[in-house]
Structure 1
């Protein structure tokens, strides 16, 4: 590889955001010179991990080789990015070499900060401590659910931002449904300990969710932040409004605090407060560097960080980045769309779809799918349709239902 290659477009990250954006750009401009900087050998369909933890999917169906999803015309740079020099349109890689760009798109994702919970890392995957937020741990969640017959099961949720804010609840509801089916739920004390002050941030979906909280007899505890875990003793300590509380558990499903990747947070591209890429929430273009864009979980936009948000953002970044490459202003806006299919029981889902400021943005008419109620059709969408669309549509530049509305010149 040349030491200092130059590409028209350099994308940092080969996750869903990076691959989908590259594919959308190449659909529009097949001769475009695109490079993706990504060290991983595997690519994951992360929305599937909730289903793995619920015994619906087997983990391997959520994993494919990075080579198999990389767009054919992309130059894959199999390294990690280390630092950004936006004043000179350059990225320095982990080995010290550099890559120069015309347009930079940062799709570096979000970092799971397991280390912020004392004692957690050394007990993950044993002592009844698990998390659907990791590929290797989601099967352990299902193992614990199958084996638990009595005791206390705690499901935790940290402060925002986290990716898929509904995932902590999804794990809980699917576990409760399995316990109810086996007739042991009455012997299990289920607690949802959420660092936030509400069960879910968009009020229209709360009635349906609360029905399931009551159905499963879940003890809902808000403003509770997990700060430490003692695996061998099977105790967890939460910071509460009244101080600290240490409780025993038989099963603990943990969602780790989540932060911007360090190399992004330390860079000139970062938002001073959040550490994420400082971008305009509509155009997704950097607020200081007009040839830099952010997409997916790495961006500072105040939307829910979900795969559905990425699916909507990627084509918008594609058309806006191509416009910038041509010396033109952005041509499309992002409305904050995100989706959270809340698996309230095996076979039914509350399909929460919303945008900025909690505005409801349903993809289907209410008579087809009423997203505020648990529906079998929503389950079919989550379990059968969306994985297929992910692998065969989104990652290949097909923009079904998310093609951006391009603004025409006045």
Structure 2
């Protein structure tokens, strides 16, 4: 029987719809397995790097072709926690629902990453779902390991101890500071890579300022015990910080690593790294703990990781060294620069360009210089704005000496940067200050 022209067109349209590669393919299988989804770009992690790249990829390939895997209901602007721990900002003001920051139309897969198989281009989530991808962006951040310090995390149930690195413990820092009467106020820096390496000493400076303001400073002995051999990695800013330390009578002990907290006795035990096996016990009235940190568990032993467990990417273009369709951004990578939100901003612009080139079978041509920034809060109204590159050389945006404490830099840290984060970086619109640096320096830098 002849098929009418109209009917033939309808059948042809139906056939085209069936064979066209959809943005999300669900392959229903037997045996109780879950359906399989496919995305052109799959982003692992809904932190600053993951959300920023989701927004950029949405513009590049369309929202329906992008998915982000993230279990957390809340997204936090963590750089604000330095000020939360000192009572200058609130935890509530640092967070927004994850649903509000995932770009509209992008699929939010609310689960954790259970397994990554780069040889098969698949990811398995905690709920058993298998997802395949054409391109993978790994933005899984890092893990906090309070449990690697004996006595933690249970010590946080006792008074006088806090940590600005966790949403569960940052208010405990503020409580410890408010309730301080007299004695030792101790601040630690662990013997591992950390995110925002300036934060452990920022809270020390703020605590000093708070005690001066409340008349308690004369009864306080402020101690900064760091595992590092230096106060700060960039000499220009380290020199300025040493001057502050001397002027404010702050005690700094290098190569001291916190290994145990005896909260019932208010004692902190530090290992002297230059004398293996030798320890020193310090009584405290207040203790701020910066925990040991490490790569995400799912990366350890994975083909994507280096020997230490960090994502193994080319430091210039952020493409994986062995899997060309895999890319990385932020704290989970082995990039030899400080792990900060400012670094993520700089990386996002480079990674956007790298992926564009790879998608067109070209060679990445834009290089990341290692730019990172650390606004070193030195009081409730001053900041030293440290900016530097892979070589630990200053890479400053403004045509002034940024190693000096400035009030304007505090307002930039406390008021401007959060706005830039929520409305610039997370929307894929802010790639760091690089383009403005030459303008600021009249083209001379």
TM-score bucket (shorter structure): over 0.9
Aligned to 1:257: 292
Aligned-pair CA distance for 1:315: 2.0
Aligned to 1:380: 411
Q: Distance in 1 between matches of 2:434 and 2:211?
A: 42
Q: Distance in 2 between matches of 1:160 and 1:230?
A: 22
Q: Distance in 1 between matches of 2:373 and 2:367?
A: 18
Extract unaligned runs of 5+ from structure 1: 406-410
Q: Distance in 1 between matches of 2:40 and 2:61?
A: 12
Q: Confirm or deny that 1:267 pairs with 2:302.
A: yes
Aligned-pair CA distance for 1:210: 1.3
Q: Distance in 2 between matches of 1:73 and 1:37?
A: 14
Q: How many residues are treated as equivalent by the alignment?
A: 401
Q: Return closer, same or farther for 1:394/1:288 CA change in 2, 3 Å cut-off.
A: same
Q: Confirm or deny that 1:13 pairs with 2:48.
A: no
8 Å CA contact 2:66–2:107 kept in 1: the answer is: yes
Aligned to 2:421: 390
Aligned-pair CA distance for 1:312: 0.9
Q: Distance in 1 between matches of 2:413 and 2:129?
A: 42
Aligned to 2:357: 323
Report the aligned-residue RMSD. 1.6
Deviates more, 1:258-267 or 1:30-39: 30-39
Aligned-pair CA distance for 1:325: 2.3
Aligned to 1:114: 146
Aligned to 1:340: 374
The DSSP-based 3-state class of the residue aligned with 2:154 is coil
Q: Deviations over 1:318-365 (max 9, x none)?
A: 221232222222132111011000001110000000010102111222
Aligned to 2:347: 313
Aligned-pair CA distance for 1:35: 0.6
Aligned to 1:408: none
8 Å CA contact 2:227–2:254 kept in 1: the answer is: yes
TM-score normalised by the chain length of structure 1: 0.95
2:267 aligned to which of 232, 235, 244: 235
Q: Deviations over 1:232-255 (max 9, x none)?
A: 111111111340111211111000
8 Å CA contact 1:11–1:36 kept in 2: the answer is: yes
**Higher RCO by CA contacts (8 Å cutoff, separation 6 or greater):** 1
Aligned-pair CA distance for 1:31: 5.5
The DSSP-based 3-state class of the residue aligned with 1:238 is strand
Aligned to 1:133: 165
Q: Distance in 2 between matches of 1:280 and 1:344?
A: 35
Please tell me whether Structure 1 or Structure 2 has the larger radius of gyration of its CA atoms. Answer: 2
Q: Deviations over 1:9-37 (max 9, x none)?
A: 00000000100111123234446611101
Aligned to 1:147: 179
Q: Distance in 2 between matches of 1:283 and 1:383?
A: 31
8 Å CA contact 1:226–1:236 kept in 2: the answer is: yes
TM-score normalised by the chain length of structure 2: 0.87
Q: How does 1:4-403 map onto structure 2 within 5 Å?
A: 4-30=36-62, 33-240=65-272, 241-242=274-275, 243-272=278-307, 274-366=308-400, 370-399=401-430, 401-402=432-433
Q: Distance in 2 between matches of 1:319 and 1:402?
A: 16
The DSSP-based 3-state class of the residue aligned with 1:36 is strand
Q: Deviations over 1:266-294 (max 9, x none)?
A: 3110011x211000111111000000001
Extract unaligned runs of 5+ from structure 2: 1-23, 27-34, 437-445
8 Å CA contact 2:160–2:175 kept in 1: the answer is: no
